[in-house]
Amino acid sequence: MSERTDDPARIVVRIRGQVQGVGFRYAAIDQARRLGVTGWVRNTDDGDVELVAEGTADRLRRLVTWCHAGPPGARVTQVEPQWRPFAGEFDGFQLRR
């Protein structure tokens, strides 16, 4: 991962716990848009939430920190971020099915 907080980066995050049926995806979209990062979020078939985001390393770290708590009603047990090279592939932050 980049040393500088303003360098562009990408993360793939797996969020585990009670994260489906509690508005996690919609709250994640709001949070990502507030932070000015792009990408997508979706539910997985095994009950997790997967999130892919691009932006500055600092903003992505803040999004990962938010994922540890999520919205009210969520019970996050594990957050697994994987840092990747920036690809510049997204225009906004979307819900993916």
For the annotated catalytic residues, the residue numbers are 25, 43
Q: How many CA atoms lie within 13 A of 70 on its CB side?
A: 27
Label residue 47 left, alpha or beta by phi (over 0 means left) and psi (-120 to 50 means alpha): left
* Single-letter amino acid, residue 23: G
